[in-house]
Amino acid sequence: MPPSAWLLLGLLALAIGQPGLATEQRFAETPAQYQEVSQGEDVRLRCRVQDKRGQCIWQKDRKPVGMHPDKYEWAGARDGDCSLLVKRASLDFDDGLWECQVTPGDFTRQDALTSNPARLLVRVKPRKPQLEYAGAVLTTSLTLREGQEATISCVSRYGNPPALIKWFIGTDEIQPMREQSNATEVDNPKTWAAHSLLRVRGSRDNHNKPIRCLSMHPTSALPDVTESQFDIHYSPEVKLETSPRMLVSALEDSSSFISLRCISDSNPTSSIKWFKDNAPIMVSNGNVLPLGYNRTLANGTLVESEVRFEPIKREDAGLYSCRAVNVIGESAPANYRLDVQYGPKPRSLGEGSKGKETSLDVVEETSSLGSNIEPFECPDFEANPPAQFRWLHQRGGSTDTIVDNRVGDQQQQHQQPHSGRRLRLENVGWADEGEYRCVAYNVINGVRREMPSDLRFVLHVIGPPEIQARPSAETEDGMYESIGWAGEPVHRLKSRFCSRPPPRIVAWQWGSSHIRAGESISPKYEALPLEPILENKMVTNCYWAKLEIRELQREDARLYTLVVESEKGRDSTNLRLTVRDPTELRIIAAAGAVGLLVLLLLFSVGLYSLVRSRRKHREYRHEEEEGSISAEAYYGAAAPTQQNGTGTGSSAMSGMGMYGRKPVLDAGLAVMYDYDQIACKSRTAMSPEALKVRRAPAVFQPPTIV
């Protein structure tokens, strides 16, 4: 260690060892550099001095402050504690820079002390903030057009320190244009005015939403709030709704109910106009029913108007649209197309065609045999969905539907909706003659709707005679047979034929006999006059040829020939008459009765056997249940014998009570019991275990002696 260091340590020890030697005073604690206090509250400025010899002095803004009771007082004991208590802090007197000073203990030592300036801020609550727009205080709602931009400001004045400003639109915090600016007030420089700017844009989504300015200050736990409200003016926007909302079935004429509701969202309130196929709908039409109320929602004012169809008619079908208009502008249209379905109805005729339909109730056409024709076309029908057509052929009191392959190609019908209106017949025959009817139909909600035409279509066929009706069944040799019974008073052979022009000759032939229609061979045979066939009260080109044979005998059984001849040609057919004895019918009836009796007898025997087998089955089950051994009785009787070990037959018998034991076999190695007697005695003491024991002999072996 160098000599200078030893010298310094010696002097230090000498100073400590001599108590009469004084040390310099110094700060043990200085005032905090920054301190806040609310106006009217007390605050303590801390200052402590070690080895204090001088006097404590406080300065504010470099000017000395004297001690005044109830305003400025010493906070603690005077020994080294120079803390100052400021009571009822005031912005005007106490806000500023404070310094703690100590005078020197000896004028020769020059050890005076001065602390760094300490900022004491006296908090003052600012006034309620204000919203300003266009240089004026915003006291009402902020009115903007959609898309218009505006700048609003929030001012918080006369606060110390300056307030912190935040913006909210609705519940969302919005960032300002830039950081807020703070400036001292002109008339009170110790207070501050805080300014914040917000740029807003008119949007219909913000209509009726509040604009809030929050002023946050340490003098209050809750912020001060001032607010306004957006009043956004925007053009209408419309939408169309239906009631019911979801259509589960198609709309049908005179049976479905529906309403169209137009909802307009606009500010200011708009008026709604309805259009059908771009033509205005007047309220006087009776269907437009406006709803006379406005309903304000969170995002605007809604106006509703409604068109009701109760029920809907076919003439109501079309494109409906609604528009809304206010002072800002007009909305784009909202459209909805109503499709009304209805069954087929004849299309109305023009003025020049009135009365023409009644004169054409019947349409007649004539065709030759074997030709391909399209003789008739069904009248036009109005229908939605478009009508399909089918043709009915009325002949001989019956109605037949023309099959699809005779109407036309099905693929062609799909490509052309009105295909099938024209009847198409190929290879025309006599069977095609008669009256035709056209039926238009469509399907609505799964239900078929049909409408027949009022027109009657009659087809006449020209050609040589053709015999059509054949009596009885066809035989193996190709003949047609008629069966009669001997003794029958009158037996009639008849056949149907068609011919146009009418036949010149209609005759019956058998053997060497020949008879024409309208003639007779008295008293046995008579050919009746031709009988024209009527179909739907109309005379056709077909006839009945009939031959009557009186007092039918076996000798009348032979082959009869019908000959029809006209200027177009000739046709004939053979009919075989078979005459049977009436006794054959009696034999057949007797055989049928006998067969029926045999069936009844077999059925009775089978039923009796079934009942008897079921009864036997029930008896067997009953006996099986009664034959079970009571386990308690069985094992209770056997216990004494096993305990004695050397019991005799009589003792075993007495131990078992009334149960008899069979003779001992194989020198006592096996014991047989009479289970019939055991079962009889133990029927009254059955248990579930006893039901498991069957009627079988049990063999018991004596224990093995070692």
Give tens-digit pLDDT for 428-450. Answer: 988 888 889 999 999 999 999 99
Q: What angle do CA 620, 626, 631 make, to 5 degrees?
A: 135
Q: In this predicted structure, which of 49-63, 139-153, 377-391, 406-420 has the lowest mean pLDDT?
A: 406-420
Q: How many degrees, rounded to 5, is the angle at CA 413 between CA 410 and CA 415?
A: 115
Which tokens sit at 75?
Answer: 């906070």
Which of 205, 280, 232 is CA-nearest to residue 272? 280
pLDDT confidence of 522, banded at 50, 70, 90?
confident
pLDDT (average), residues 27-48: 92
Residue 507 has pLDDT above 60, yes or no: yes
Strand partners of residue 234: 267
* pLDDT above 80: residue 656: no
pLDDT of residue 416: 43
pLDDT score of 2: 57
Q: Is the pLDDT of residue 250 over 60?
A: yes
Q: What is the pLDDT of residue 349?
A: 55
pLDDT of residue 683: 47
Q: How confident is the model at residue 22 (pLDDT cuts 50, 70, 90)?
A: low
Mean pLDDT, rounded, for 552-569: 91
Mean pLDDT of all residues in 380-400: 85
What is the pLDDT averaged over residues 629-640? 46
- Look at 560-564, 565-569, 617-621 and tell me which has the smallest mean pLDDT: 617-621
**Is the pLDDT score of 241 beyond 50?**
yes
Residue 281 falls in which region: left (phi positive, over 0), alpha (psi -120 to 50) or beta: beta
| pLDDT band at 505; cut points 50, 70, 90 | very high
* pLDDT of 210 strictly over 80: yes
Out of 7-11, 90-94, 352-356, pick the least confident: 352-356
Matching residue, tokens 């494109």: 319
Question: What is residue 554's predicted lDDT score, i.e. its pLDDT?
Answer: 87
Max avg pLDDT among 50-64, 414-428, 691-705: 50-64
Query: pLDDT band for position 108 (50/70/90)?
Result: confident
User: Among the listed ranges 57-66, 268-277, 542-551, 625-634, which one has the minimum average pLDDT value?
Assistant: 625-634
User: Would you say residue 133 has pLDDT above 70?
Assistant: yes
Q: In the predicted model, is pLDDT for residue 660 greater than 70?
A: no
Q: What is the pLDDT of residue 624?
A: 63
Residues 6+ apart with CB under 8 A from 72: 58, 65, 66, 84, 85, 86, 87
Lowest mean pLDDT segment, chosen from 248-252, 283-287, 550-554: 283-287
**Strand 210-216 to strand 164-169: parallel, antiparallel, or no bridges (unpaired)?**
antiparallel
Q: What is the DSSP letter of 700?
A: -
Residue 28: pLDDT over 50:
yes
Res. 70: pLDDT tops 80: yes
Output the pLDDT for position 645: 41
Q: For residue 627, give the nearest of 674, 673, 680 by alpha carbon.
A: 680
Query: Regarding predicted confidence, which is higher, 93 or 398?
Result: 93
- Higher-pLDDT residue of 284 and 395 is 395
DSSP readout, 239-257? EEEEESSS-SS-EETTT--
Of 520-529, 580-589, 607-616, least confident by mean pLDDT is 580-589
Separation in Å, CA 14 to CA 18, 22, 488, 497: 6, 12, 178, 168
Read off the pLDDT of each residue in 365-381 and give the average, rounded to a whole number: 90
Report residue 332's pLDDT band, with 50, 70 and 90 as the boundaries. very high
Lowest mean pLDDT among 129-133, 306-310, 347-351, 648-652: 648-652
Measure the CA–CA gap between 445 and 383, rounded to whole angstroms: 14
Percent residues over pLDDT 70 in the chain: 76
Q: What percent of the chain has pLDDT over 90?
A: 48
Q: What span, in angstroms and rounded, lies between the C-alpha atoms of 392 and 37?
A: 109
Q: How far is CA 547 from CA 472, 484, 530, 573, in A?
A: 15, 14, 10, 14
pLDDT tens string 343-367: 999 987 544 444 444 445 889 899 9
Residue 115 has pLDDT above 50, yes or no: yes
Highest mean pLDDT among 102-111, 296-305, 417-426, 542-551: 542-551
More confident residue, 651 or 612: 612
Strands 340-346 and 251-252, sheet pairing: parallel
With 70 as the cut, is the pLDDT of residue 404 above it?
no
Check whether 693 has a pLDDT greater than 90.
no
Q: Average of pLDDT values for 321-347?
A: 94
Whole-number pLDDT of residue 702: 56
> Looking at the predicted structure, is the pLDDT value of residue 663 above 60?
no
Going by pLDDT thresholds of 50, 70 and 90, the confidence category of residue 99 is very high
The single residue listed with the structure tokens 């736990």 is 221
For each of the domains in the chain, give its residue range(s) and CATH number, in order of start.
24-123 (2.60.40.10), 126-338 (2.60.40.10), 358-462 (2.60.40.10), 468-580 (2.60.40.10), 631-692 (no CATH)
Of the ranges 103-112, 572-581, 614-623, 666-675, which one carries the lowest mean pLDDT score? 666-675
Quick check: 411 pLDDT over 90? no
The continuous run of DSSP H or E covering 9 comes out as helix 3-17
pLDDT of residue 1: 52
| Rounded mean pLDDT, 81-88 | 92
Closest alpha carbon to 678 in 642, 646, 637, 639: 637
Note the pLDDT of residue 478: 59
